[in-house]
Structure 1
Amino acid sequence: MATVERFEDLNVWKAAREFCKLIHQFTLRNDFCNDFKLVSQIRASSGSVMDNIAEGFERDGNKEFCQFLSFSKGSCGEARSQLYRALDAGYISKADFDQAYNQAMEISKMLSGFIAYLKETELKGRKFK
């Protein structure tokens, strides 16, 4: 397995970035953009998915990384809940909801798998070399 040197190399971070971009595009729409509180919340939670992956990676130790991946997973769930609010308010279509929801679920699965891997690996991070 290749050594990952930057969080930008992680597929889960790349997927989270795409999810964040999709959410941002949704929030630019006329009706949606006027719901300032929901826009702020869903942008923050979707951004936290990718940001917590990055922050945890930069901590250089698996225990802290797992903790931040868990935060990321929580933010992913929060964004999914907010997607329901956007759908129920008529800000996004069912097709848009399904696209974003499926992306979020895939990210959650990737995060769960990554956490499990980090808990089992003998590698403990650069901090502990």
Structure 2
Amino acid sequence: MAFAVMINQQILPSFPTEEKWVLSMQLRRSLQSVPANIAEGYSRYYYQEGVRFCYIARGSLEESYSHISLAHKLGYISQDTYNVINVEVQEIRRLLNGYITFLKKNKRGDNEPGSAHRIKEDSIQYLSDLDIEDPKN
């Protein structure tokens, strides 16, 4: 959340007026989405739901970074500031990926929704028409 506060307080005010309702608003929303999705995932009962919300948070982080990169290319963010932001984004990405790994390792078993990535069924012998005796014979 500190990253979002820093961008909102230090970076967005320096954007030109014409970007107030476009790029700055998109960046503000994607930045707010990162900690909000982590918090929502944390409040869920199943670890796999937490993983799903962390994936959404990670997507929002990458969206934010894309907006920041665009702002840098447009000249709204200096190279020095961009370098500091880049290091911060890499650290958040590393922490978020570590948290996702932790959640995946601590799932509550195969009964947890989303924990199994395969179809399970009872062992059934499948028969074809050739395997079934014709009652007329």
Q: TM-score, normalised by structure 2?
A: 0.72
Return the letter of the residue paired with 2:5. K
Residue in structure 2 matched with residue 22 of structure 1 by the alignment = 6
Following TM superposition, where does structure 1 have runs of at least 4 consecutive aligned residues deviating by more than 4 angstroms? none
> What one-letter code is carried by the residue in structure 1 that aligns with 2:59?
G
Judged with a 3 Å threshold, the aligned counterparts in structure 2 of structure 1 residues 30 and 116 are, in CA distance, closer, same or farther, namely closer
| 1:72 maps to 2:57 | yes
**TM-score normalised to structure 1 length:** 0.76
Which one has a bigger Cα radius of gyration?
A: 2
Greater RCO, CA 8 A, separation 6+: 1
5 Å-filtered alignment, 1:33-72, equals 33-35=17-19, 36-72=21-57
In 1, Cα distance between the equivalents of 2:15 and 2:91? 28
Residue 90 of structure 1: how far off its partner (Å): 1.1
Name the % identity.
31
Instruction: Tell me the equivalent position of 2:102.
Output: 117
Q: Give me the whole-angstrom Cα distance separating, in 2, the residues matched to 1:60 and 1:104.
A: 28
Amino acid at match of 1:23: I
Asked if structure 2 preserves the Cα contact closer than 8 Å seen for 1:83 and 1:101, the reply is no
1:15-47 residue CA offsets vs partner (Å, 9 max, x unmatched): xx111012112111252x530210011111111
Instruction: Describe the superposition over 1:96-122 as per-residue Cα deviations: whole angstroms up to 9, x where unpaired.
Output: 111112111111111111111111126
SS of equivalent residue, structure 1 residue 28: helix
Q: Give the match for residue 5 of structure 1.
A: none
Contact 1:62 1:118 (C-alpha < 8 Å) held by counterparts = yes
Higher helix share: 1
Unaligned regions of 5+ residues in structure 1, if any?
1-16, 125-129
**Could you tell me which residue of structure 1 aligns to residue 132 of structure 2?**
none
